[in-house]
Structure 1
Amino acid sequence: MQKLTNKEEEVMQILWKLEKAFVKDVLLEVKESKPHYNTVSTIIRNLEEKGYVDHIAYGNTYQYYPTVSKEDYRTGYMSNAIKNYFNNSYKGMVSFFAKEEKISAEELREILKMIEKEE
């Protein structure tokens, strides 16, 4: 799975939310610093070239939809992050978040309970 730029990820978040959208629909959902219509159109075409998006043609107008699910992207993204930043160690990742105080002891206990239930 090819890595996406921040803007591409932002557009994908919108497409996952809307499920199908025209460029103008995506533009309406952009929260910060509204890009030009052509900029959004170019981002979507890049996503299509990367295989993340496809379209349905209505004459000269295209309605776009994601071809990669949010879950599949998240799995690939997290796998790469753990590989590249934590030496393929989930323990290292959890330890990092604990040290940075991004996860509490109570949350870790909840995670342990979830793991124990699955075993």
Structure 2
Amino acid sequence: MKKLTKKEEEIMQEIWKQGKAFIKDIVDALPAPKPHYNTVSTVLKILQEKGFVDYVKYGNVYQYFPVVSIDAYKTEEVDDLLEKYFDNSYVNMIAHFAKKQDMDQKEIDEIIKLIKSNKS
């Protein structure tokens, strides 16, 4: 799967959130300063070329929808992060976040419970 630039990911987040959207919907949902309609259109063309979105044409207007799910993208990103920074070790990654975020015992217990429930 190809990587997304920051701007591409910002637009994909809106498409994932909305499910399907016209360019105007995306522009309206993005934070200020709002990008120009043509800028969003160009980014959507790139996203289509990368295989992240497709569209349905209604006259001269396009409604975009995700082809790659947010879960698939998250998995790819986390796997990449795991490989690059944590020697492919979930233990190293979780230990890093536990130290960095000053996790309390309740949060640690929730993670352990989640891990155990996924193992059954």
TM-score by length of structure 1 reads 0.92
Partner of 1:46: 46
For residues 71 and 19 of structure 1, the distance between their equivalents in structure 2, rounded to whole angstroms, comes to 14
Any stretches of 5+ residues in structure 1 without a counterpart? none
The alignment of Structure 1 onto Structure 2 pairs a total of residues equal to 119
The CA deviation string for residues 48-90 of structure 1, in whole angstroms up to 9 with x for no partner, is: 0100000111222211110011111111111111111111111
The answer as to 2:32 corresponding to 1:32 is yes
Shift of residue 102, structure 1, vs aligned partner: 5.1
Partner of 2:81: 81
Any stretches of 5+ residues in structure 2 without a counterpart? none
What does residue range 1-119 of structure 1 map to in structure 2 within 5 Å? 1-101=1-101, 103-117=103-117, 118-119=119-120
For residues 6 and 104 of structure 2, the distance between their equivalents in structure 1, rounded to whole angstroms, comes to 28
Shift of residue 103, structure 1, vs aligned partner: 3.1
